Structure 1
Amino acid sequence: MCFFFSLLFMVLDFSLILELDLLTINSCSIMMTILLDWMSLLFMSFVLFISSMVVIYSKEYMLGDLNLNRFIMLVFMFVLSMMLLIISPNLISILLGWDGLGLVSYCLVIYYQNIKSFNAGMLTALTNRIGDVALLMSIAWMLNYGSWNYIYYIECMKNDFSMELISYLVVLAAMTKSAQIPFSSWLPAAMAAPTPVSSLVHSSTLVTAGVYLLIRFNSSMNMNLMFFLLFIGTMTMFMAGLGANFEFDLKKIIALSTLSQLGLMMSILALGGYDLAFFHLLTHALFKATLFMCAGCIIHNMNNCQDIRFMGGLIIQMPLTCCFFNISNLSLCGLPFLSGFYSKDLILEIVSMNYLNIFIYVVYFISTGFTVSYTFRLMYYSMIGDYNFMSLNCLNDSNYIMLKGMFGLIFFVITGGSMLMWLMFPTPYFICLPFTMKMMALIVTILGIWIGLEFSKFYLNYSLKSMKLMKMSNFMASMWNMPTISTFGLNYYPLNLGNMINANLDQGWSEFFGSQNIFNNLKNSSLFMQFMYNNNLKIYLILLVMWVLFL
């Protein structure tokens, strides 16, 4: 229904704003505002479709779980928060959805209760809090205008100082939610969540919330902010692509590929192509959800093992899952005429046409090459070669409900790109490039395939040269040491300072001058008085004798 309404609104060029007045303070009224236009309706239809497939998939994936109903309820709350965020043109109602996403994602990441999940959940929640605070501050700055409906002020107040400040804060919020550098470390950590949640989070909900907010705020950004965002986006894309080539955890590779695509969306948004960013957001949602579902199927069959070094030859035992996996992977690479191709290729060609600098151009194409190389490395490890795990008996393709969930999505992974292209761009983009630049995307794709397959073959032995390679690969795989810096680096000094304050002040001088010492003095004097009262007759007689002797 959402989808067909979206088509109707698109054809009529129609938007609908509904306002419910909740509370009025001075001239600022707190409203629950709902904005229905083609963009929010289209995105909502995608979120609802993907989440419905994920819920069907969870029925079998979470089979035997004691709290299955609780899990499904959490997923519903997650989707509901996202709906709130999509339809709000109002900063206060956006905050409801925004914080709802943060809170429910914490509950879902710590769903399997162990120390790793708790750490990951804490990292996710605290990183996202930075963005929430930025959003709260921008709400405070919006008091300079008549209401919190930013949609009215974005265009006309573009050069106003308050609006600039608000746009800076909103960009900070979006950077934490969409895990751009330097807030990237929570995204692979959030893989501690059950796979259906990962599928939902990485395709259409949590991480895309930041991009969606910036798409809504696209006209309020000034040039400096856009250059900054462009740089951050391209660096994130490059870093994630590089890291995924050294990673061995199946879910983390797919998570890093999400990060890479988020960097791509952010950077094209910073170049002014907000409609392209939205287009890529939708096509990416389709194949990424399918990718995670296939990964979940594989993990299920491997008795919960996620290491790709243990896989191999899965295509023989699990043909249908592997077909879905390959189609989604090729769509991610941008193989012509699958859904990922339409958005990715268009973005690359627009970047080629823009008169920017060589750095952005090179990083874009290298990152695209990396995408292809880690995808083919993943295919090499999982599909080709020998099976390296316990027994072949655990592998089968009879997870009918899970396959049903994936089957609903795979049709759109193949056809969705072209369909959206015809819908969203009634007048096609005019691309005019020399032959070499036009073929550039194809060249880096082919180079990426070759590098990915070669890269998979060499094995590190423990020689001195290899140790250097090992250090380098550890550095790359740990996302340029970002998780260490953002956890240990931020915790070490405050905790150390807290320890010193505790030892010297709380347990030291403040005890001496404060409660403990006062208590000891009072206790001693009261003990003395008590001694006097208990023995007052004796003391009186002794004093009498002393008085007589004195006389």
Structure 2
Amino acid sequence: MCSISFITLISMSMSLFLMSLNFMLNEYVIFLEWEVITLNSSSIVMTFLFDWMSLSFMSFVLLISSLVIYYSKEYMSSDMFINRFIILVLLFVLSMMFLIISPNLISILLGWDGLGLVSYCLVIYFQNVKSYNAGMLTALSNRIGDVALLLAIAWMLNYGSWNYIFYLEVMKESNIMMIIGSLVMLAAMTKSAQIPFSSWLPAAMAAPTPVSALVHSSTLVTAGVYLLIRFNILFIDTFMGQFLLLMSGLTMFMAGMGANFEFDLKKIIALSTLSQLGLMMSILSMGFLKLAFFHLLTHALFKALLFMCAGAIIHNMNNSQDIRLMGGLSVHMPLTSSCFNVANLALCGMPFLAGFYSKDMILEIVSLSNINMFSFILYFFSTGLTVCYSLRLVYYSMTGDLNCGSLNLLNDEGWIMLKGMLGLLFMSIVSGSMLNWLIFPTPLMICLPYYLKFLTLFVCILGGVLGYLISNVSLYFVNKAMKNYSITLFLGSMWFMPYISTYGVIKSPLILGKVVSKNFDQGWSEFFGGQNLYSSLIYYSRINNMIQNNNLKIYLMIFVLWISVLLYFYIIL
């Protein structure tokens, strides 16, 4: 089943990419209406929007999912129910397709809820306590966004149609459209894990690694960004846009800071996804939707590759994810390490790799824009942190000697996994320049002073040096600060967000439940209600039982009494 799915998806991906090129060059947009059923004057109509953006995004999603399914053939080979896993992944991709091509809030909800439901099934796939907790946190966090979308659907009734695409331009000044926009923004923030809904993203790492590669690159978390790209016109020069800029900037900073204190390999990569999502959201809130989309596509490729390499490493390390136990992987697993390092460099924005074209352009546009100093510092500081945790990760995993048991047999022999990774390696190198030529056929004129032009490069180099010094014990005061338990706890636990969204939400209802249980279920109402009824029934049933057990004696007694009564009446009469 893996092979069939792989061939089908990759051929669909290629054809969709060629279609997107055609649409892009000729500026085509196809709005398709499919009448599902008509009864009297009522009709159920399914609408689809095909433009260069939706087609290119679909082709990238299908490309990544095809390689992930091919990779899963070996990664999940020990799983008895691998076909069920593949079907779940295909359902996941289908839900994303619905979301991408929908210009209608109802069909968006179909894809949106499909993503939420299937992601829950995939996160709890390994069926242990950690998976169940993570799945519940993921599902419930996303339910907030689902409810926001349902409310937006209710507000859209004011316009007589749910095809939002018709009303965005003409009604953008109206209060109703502002309410709809804010609800959509809330939904997108939950799906793309912006503050304060960030805690589910690292928790979702309980899913199998191929699922993580798919979720963090092109499906679940990017759904919120894509929705905001479609609704972008509502956020330009409004309070909502400014609020989104602040929240996404803080998310970017918080995730970058947290990744520097983390030792779980998959969690570090998950936090890097969160940081990049903050970058996309923030540039989107400033009105540069093409730039956000460009970074969305390039990031999808190298992030999927990063997760696939992490999966291969975890497989070889006997399912250990702690980077402190790794070391010298470049010697034992040269091909996997090469892919891992290329993906890491693309994430950092190494010149002429995929991430460089989008990240560098975003940061230069930020320097050019009329933006406040706080947001400007968040942008550049977070970029430095990205290089910092990436170099720290490379230092711990690639250099030195292997720190775990010597019986571990590390090798590069998983050829099916490697083929999947090499496909993405090629795309991670060439896709940046290719997409840059396609999306921006006329180069953007970004005129900046000398020091601002080199600021990005300087911040990256500084972040890299800091990452090396933090990993090595040479920077004494930083290591001393990192050993301070309270600072490490605060920064390493994503500013206590997981505690707030788990204990913080559950604690008060549990205390209230205890009070109610004590005073009602075990209190006076129970004494006068159920318990009283119970004890009365027992008392009367005992009397009844006694009567039934002594039936002959009682019969004779009643006979004597009856004779006595008869004699009494006989004497009187």
Partner of residue 353, structure 1? 368
Q: 2:114 is matched with which residue? A: 100
How many residue pairs match? The answer is: 548
Query: Is the 8 Å Cα contact of residues 28 and 146 (structure 1) preserved in structure 2?
Result: no
Q: Which residue of 2 aligns with 1:32?
A: 46
Q: Which residue type is aligned with residue 3 of structure 1?
A: F
Corresponding position: 1:505 with 2:520 = yes
Q: What is the 5 A alignment of 1:101-500?
A: 101-221=115-235, 223-391=238-406, 394-458=409-473, 469-500=484-515
TM-score, normalization by structure 1? 0.94
CA distance in 2, matches of 1:509, 1:163: 53
CA contact (8 A) 2:326 2:402 kept: yes
- For the pair 1:45 / 2:59, whether they are aligned, the reply is yes
Q: 1:392 to 1:460 in 2, by over 3 A?
A: farther
Q: Structure 2 stretches of 5 or more lacking a match?
A: 1-14
| Paired amino acid for 1:44 | M
Per mean C-alpha deviation after superposition, the further-off stretch among 516-525 and 244-253 is 516-525
Q: CA deviation at 1:520?
A: 4.3
* Cα offset, 1:70, TM superposition: 0.8
Q: CA deviation at 1:102?
A: 0.7
Aligned residues of 1:158 and 1:221 also touching (Cα < 8 A) = no
Contact 2:249-2:379 within 8 A present in 1 as well: yes
Matched, 1:63 2:77: yes
Q: Describe the shift of the 1:61–1:226 C-alpha distance in structure 2 as closer, same or farther (beyond 3 A).
A: same
8 Å contact from structure 1 (residues 249, 307) kept in 2: yes
Q: Partner of 1:355: helix, strand, or coil?
A: coil
Deviates more, 1:467-476 or 1:132-141: 467-476
CA distance in 2 between counterparts of 1:493 and 1:387 reads: 47
Counterparts of 2:78 and 2:130, CA distance in 1:
22
Which structure would you say has the larger Rg?
2
2:235, 2:433 → 1: CA distance? 30
Output the TM-score relative to the length of structure 2. Answer: 0.91
- Relative to structure 1, is the Cα distance of residues 27 and 342 closer, same or farther in structure 2, using a 3 angstrom cutoff? farther
CA distance in 2, matches of 1:502, 1:264: 47
Distance 1:404 1:398 in 2: 11
Q: Distance in 2 between matches of 1:373 and 1:460?
A: 14
Q: Is the 8 A contact 1:167 1:217 kept in 2?
A: yes
Structure 2: how far apart are the matches of 1:530 and 1:55? 70
Distance 1:369 1:174, change over 3 A: same
Report the alpha carbon displacement of residue 392 of structure 1 after superposing the two structures with TM.
Answer: 6.2
- Give the superposition deviation at 1:31: 2.7
SS of equivalent residue, structure 2 residue 523? helix
* Equivalent-residue separation in structure 2 for 1:335 and 1:205 (angstroms): 25
Q: 1: CA distance between counterparts of 2:39 and 2:524?
A: 48
1:193-244 residue CA offsets vs partner (Å, 9 max, x unmatched): 1110000000000000000001011112361000000000000000000000
Give the match for residue 102 of structure 2.
Answer: 88
**How far apart are 1:40 and its partner, in Å?**
0.5
Alpha-carbon separation, structure 1, partners of 2:309 and 2:421: 8
Q: How many percent of aligned residue pairs carry the same amino acid?
A: 65
Alpha-carbon deviation of 1:48?
Answer: 0.1
Alpha-carbon displacement from aligned partner over 1:17-55 (angstroms, at most 9, x marks no partner): 111234689998653211111100000000000000001
Is contact 2:316–2:408 with CA below 8 Å preserved after alignment? no
Contact (CA 8 Å) 2:71, 2:210: kept in 1 or not? yes
CA distance in 2, matches of 1:213, 1:435: 36
- Aligned partner of 2:254: which letter? M
Deviation at 1:355, TM superposition (A): 1.3
Alpha-carbon distance, 1:503 to partner:
2.3
SS at match of 2:173: coil
Change beyond 3 A, Cα 1:104–1:185:
same
**Once the two structures are superposed, what CA deviation does each residue of 1:284-304 show, in whole Å capped at 9, x if it has no partner?**
000000000000111111111
In the aligned structure 2, how far is the partner of 1:237 from the partner of 1:25?
50
- Alignment of 1:6 with 2:20, yes or no, is yes
- The AA in structure 2 aligned to 1:132 is D
| Partner Cα distance (1:231, 1:184) in 2 | 15
1:141, CA displacement in angstroms? 1.1
Q: Distance in 1 between matches of 2:261 and 2:155?
A: 44
